[in-house]
Amino acid sequence: MIKGDRLAGRIVFFGELLLRLTAPGRELLLQSGRLDVHVGGAEANVAVGLARLGHDTKMVSAAPDNPLGQAAIDALRGHGVDCSAVQRRDGRMGLYFLTPGAGLRASEVVYDRAHSSFAEAPAGVFDWPALLNGASRLHLSGITPALGPATAAAAIAAAETASALGVPVSFDGNYRARLWESWDSDPKAVLTKLVDHADVLFGNHRDVSLLLGDTFHGDGPERRREAAEAAFAAFPRLKLIASTARHVDDADRHRIAARIDTREGAHQTDEVVVAGIVDRIGAGDAFAAGVLHGLHIGADADWTVRSGLALTCLKHSLPGDASLFGRADIEAFLSGELDVRR
């Protein structure tokens, strides 16, 4: 169970704020000419999830100086995220379009984020020593460096400054091939530089394979442990690797398990059936929020991995990109409460 109940200092997030435009219901994109809009972004989703759990979170980003940028900032502030370090710059808002899956039809994402205010922001405009002063953690993901050379340089500068200041770094692999392929990139080299500063990695054997150029064999847990041990050997700062395993039966029914690997061993949950799925987007970010929540309140690895599983499962019940659940929701999930709470 939980070893302590302390809230750590401010957690800093660096990444792009996005607008998600979704076909309503189970329609195809623009089938009826209508779209639902949600504010998202991988790092922003984790910031919102942790803010809803009572943590002090701060978003570092750049957004256009227009009503779209203001709406995104207002949405994060409404959930308790400090947006004082979100710069207002010329340029456009990053967008992505979602066609939700149905039955045996998979969901599909179309990006429209090239040349956004964030992607075009020079790396040097972020004063990392000041932004990370007093921080308890920096959280990054592989999406930010995939956007282009400027954001890649900024992410590396953030990680290097955090290490110099003694601020722990968590990193979510979030590999997006379409983004990396849009410019003359070297994802392995860039991601390796970032993971080299991380004490927490969100990723599985495929992420480690990309970083190390190795292929891991075996089945299920054995393969993940082999990959984890290789990652621990390659990255001295790394202490914990967190991942989920998802089996998709159809768009409405998934089976999910969660796992934490440390240098000492592994903590694996049982598989949970998630049925009646409303929205699966952002479930990985919810998992990251649940794991970081456990780490920052001093929970042990077993409780921490189950906290991550709780939030990732609960996120499937909620429209939008971010987890909006509180501590009581985690406890209710872990205790198996499914009846109406009065």
Distance of CA 234 to the CA centre of its chain: 23
Reported as type and span, the H/E element at residue 94 is: strand 94-99
The reply to whether 285 belongs to the active site is yes
Contact of 15 with 140, CB cutoff 8 Å: yes
Distance, in Å, from the CA atom of 303 to the CA atom of 327, rounded to the nearest integer, reads: 13
Distance, in Å, from the CA atom of 250 to the CA atom of 109, rounded to the nearest integer, reads: 17
Neighbour-count burial of 250, counting CB atoms closer than 10 A to its CB (0-12 exposed, 13-18 middle, 19+ buried): middle
Own/partner contacts of 178-186, CB < 8 Å, gap of 24 or more, are 178/111, 179/111, 179/143, 179/146, 179/147, 180/146, 182/114, 183/148, 183/149, 185/146, 185/149, 185/152
> Which among 166, 157, 72, 156 has a CA at the least distance from the CA of 113?
72
Contact of 75 with 52, CB cutoff 8 Å: no
Distance, in Å, from the CA atom of 342 to the CA atom of 330, rounded to the nearest integer, reads: 17
- Sequence-ordered alpha helix ranges (H) in the chain: 42-52, 67-78, 128-131, 143-146, 149-165, 177-180, 187-195, 205-212, 221-234, 283-296, 301-315, 327-335
Active-site residue, from 285, 302, 329, 339:
285
Tokens of 10: 């401010």
Active-site residue list = 285
